[in-house]
Structures are given as structure tokens and as C-alpha cells.
Structure 1
Amino acid sequence: MNHPPAHHPLLEVRDLVVRYGPVTAVDRLSFTLDAGETLALNGPSGSGKSSTALAVLQLRRPDGGTVRFEGRELTTLTERELRPLRPRMQPVFQDPYGSLNPRHRVRDAVAEPLKVRGAWHRSDGPARVAELLDRVGLDPSYGDRRPHELSGGQCQRAGIARALASEPRLLVLDEPVSALDASVRAGVLNLLSDLQDEFGLGYLFICHDRAVVRHFADRVVELRDGAGTGRVT
């Protein structure tokens, strides 16, 4: 008798621990995230939100626990073994200007992930960059500009286009709208919702604003007391 394959969450974190010297930033935190779902990490400054994000992305190796992405344990992999997985787990950071190289034009920033994963071709590469910019609501002509020539919202959209160029399955959104004006913030959140519907992306959404979390997230992990312990609601 044939059995259907077991379902694996897109992301599964168990008993995660992150320490900085004697300080425990994240203490045995556990949660799961499915494709097409938004899970928010909500809490005040110092509650372990960004430390959790870095550990999920393996940009900061955790001191304990497990991180499984698409069923594969990440914490035991070498950097060389992680390299082919990294395009599938992309961050979008709080500072839209800091996430892009100020010396590069936007089109070069968006093209870079295509080149890294061998998907850049002279014949259709520029058209692919233009398509990505258009998909995030930017006129392709903005590709000729440098980050400082864009508004904060435009720059964040360019950063999202850059993340999409890697064809990710998971976006780790670290306060992606907290630096934006309210009207611009709504537009970026709507864009993210549309992209999730279109591509089935999973979002780990880090945010301190409860109103934004209630509007945007499917489930919430509440972090508090600086220890990173939490509950899923």
C-alpha cells in the first residue's frame, strides 16, 4: 500500500538557544511555519526577535536547538553545504538603504542574485531584472538609479525585488516597514501579501507594532522578558 509523503513544515524551529556571552537572548524557542503562511515574532526591543531571525538564516549559529528548512536540519551543515540553500531563505531588512550597496545601481543589485545562482544570461538577464522591478511596483527605469536616489518605500521595494531574484521559499522580514511612513507602509505590506499569494512564500515577520502584526500575520509568537521564551497564538 502506498502512503502519501509526510508533510514537513517549510520551517521548523525547536528549542532554539542564542547566547551572547552570559546573556541568553533566545531561550528554548519553538515554532513552525508553513508555505504560504505569515508567522510574526512580536515583542519589545531586546526580546530576541532579530537574534531568532539571524539563527534561522544561519547568519548567527545558534547555541542550541534545531532549525529545519524544507525538512533539512541546518545547524549541522557546513557553510559550503549551506550555500546552495541560502537563495531559498532570503532576508528583507529594516533599513531599506542599508540593504543595498550605495555604489551600485539598482539594476545591478537585483541582477547580482541571478548571477550568483547562474541564472544570468546576456540575452534575457536585463529583461528579467526589469520584470522583477515591475513586479514590485517600480518602473524599470528606476534600475538606472542608485539607492540614495530613491525614497524609502521605493528602496524597500527594490530590496524585495532583489530577494525575489533568488526564487526563495522563505522570506525573513526583519521590521521591513518600521522605517516607512504610514501610507508607504500600507503599500509595501499589500505588495508582500500579493507576492505571498502568487508564489506561496512563507514569511517570518519580525515586528514590534501589534497593530501591524494583527493586520498582517496569520499567527504570532509573543516574545518577552529579554529571554526569548514565547507562546504561539
Structure 2
Amino acid sequence: MSDDALLDVRDLVVRYGDTTAVDHVSFALAAGETLALSGPSGCGKSSTALAVLQLRRPDSGEVRFEERELTTLTERELRPVRPRMQPVFQDPYGSLSPRLRIRDAVAEPLRAQGRWNAADGPARVAELLDRVCLDPSYGDRRPHELSGGQCQRAGIARALASEPRLLILDEPVSSLDPSVRAGVLNLLADLQDDLGLGYLFICHDRAVVRHFADRVVEMRDGRITSEWRPRAPDAAPR
């Protein structure tokens, strides 16, 4: 990978006590690319994602994002970086506060980052909901009033509010029905095409990975065992 990789992970190690969850893992990801981390449960995929996000500080190794080394930054120094790399989690209901209406959940990052403006904020939230194919009227509902697929779309809208360059997608469709799963994957593909987003896509389902990813890194027991490409570079669009 060239020096201008969006994300460059080198010799990443994450330990929990005497257990090494991530064992000298290295990979790179370009803007507009989908790199999948695949493998059985407990192989280190999610621990790798948490370390990339600096939600779990690695024990050693480097995480370079937009050519900046993250592991040496303090929490204060990470604040302007975090909006640029956003997670989307597996459980669409658990990732949204049950007390907040959808419009407030989507607006939450804007408020936290000091970018909320009462004059145009509601229009921005409506735009984000429309972007993920949710009618803006869904903003008045709470998570339990939405289906799992609709909740996951709302979670994606919230991630997009920060105008990220990288999404960390941790099993984002594994809890959804197959027909709903296809719709969310198609949405993610369209957003990537429109916005040039990079995706680190954690998924154990090889059929989904084969359909969605540009490159696949297989993990087992915390280590990378292989890397492969499911589609030729000139394959038809997703």
C-alpha cells in the first residue's frame, strides 16, 4: 500500500491479561475501498476494530489514519480525529438510546462537536435521514418503533453526520433478515460511491464478504492467515 493509504495498521497487538486477542496484525486500506476482516467468532476481528478506533488502546503497533499516528495521541488530541472515523455496530437497537427520538440521535454528533445550529440543524437531520432512504418523518419516532433495518439506517445516518472518511462496520447486517440485509448493503455501496468512503468491514459470513468487499483479510486466533480478492478490479458494480 502506498504512503497515502487512508488507514495503515502495522504490527497491531492487543492483549487481555494473558490472552493475545490481536497478534501482530498489519493491513492497509485506501479511500473508497472496502477491506473485510473475516473469520470465526473470537478470532480478533472486533478487538482489531476497537484498537483502530482507539476505543481500546493497543499494547503495541501503529495505527496511522490520514497519515497521522493515532496510538501516541492523547484523548484530547484524538478529539478532532474521531469524527473522521465512525463506527456502525452490530445491534441496531443497542446502538441508539431508547430515550431519544431518531432525529435527536442523528443530531447528537453535531451537538457534541459544536456544529449544531438551531436554524439549519433540523434540515440537516432530515437530509441525513433521506440520505439513508428513511423518510424524515421517522425522526419523530423512537428506536422501538422502527424495524431492525430502519434502526440500522438511522445508525448509519448518525455516523454520516460527522462527515467521516472511514466507517468501521462491525457485523452491521448479521442481525438483519436476508432481504433487509441486501438493502442495507446496497445503501452502503451507494454511499461509498457517492462519498468516497473507506470501509473496514467486519463480517464472519463469507457469502456477504464475497459480495461486498474489495479485499478480504482472514483472521484466526488473532493472526492474519490469508488475504484474497473476491472480485476482479473490473467487475461489475455492486
The TM-score, its normalising length taken from structure 1, stands at 0.96
Identify the residue that residue 95 of structure 2 maps to in structure 1.
99
Identify the residue that residue 167 of structure 1 maps to in structure 2.
163
Q: 1:71-90 alignment to 2 at 5 Å?
A: 71-90=67-86
Q: Distance in 2 between matches of 1:50 and 1:157?
A: 21
Q: Aligned to 1:228, which of 191, 213, 223?
A: 223
Q: Which runs of 4+ in 1 moved over 6 A?
A: none
Mark the runs of 5 or more structure 2 residues left unpaired by the alignment: 229-238
Deviation by residue 1:18-63 (Cα, 9 ceiling, x = unmatched):
1110111110000000000000000000100000000000000001
Identity of aligned residues (%): 81
Q: Which amino acid aligns with 1:141?
A: S
Q: Distance in 1 between matches of 2:28 and 2:225?
A: 13
Identify the residue that residue 127 of structure 1 maps to in structure 2.
123
Deviation for aligned residue 1:228? 2.7
Q: 1:47-196 alignment to 2 at 5 Å?
A: 47-196=43-192
Deviation for aligned residue 1:7? 4.4
Q: Which amino acid aligns with 1:232?
A: E
Deviation for aligned residue 1:223? 0.3
Identify the residue that residue 231 of structure 2 maps to in structure 1.
none
Mark the runs of 5 or more structure 1 residues left unpaired by the alignment: 1-5
Q: Distance in 1 between matches of 2:100 and 2:42?
A: 33
Identify the residue that residue 17 of structure 2 maps to in structure 1.
21
- How many equivalent residue pairs? 227
Aligned partners of 1:47 and 1:227 also within 8 Å? yes
Q: Which amino acid aligns with 1:164?
A: L
When the two chains are superposed, the root-mean-square deviation of aligned CA atoms in Å is 0.9
The TM-score, its normalising length taken from structure 2, stands at 0.94
Deviation for aligned residue 1:122? 1.0
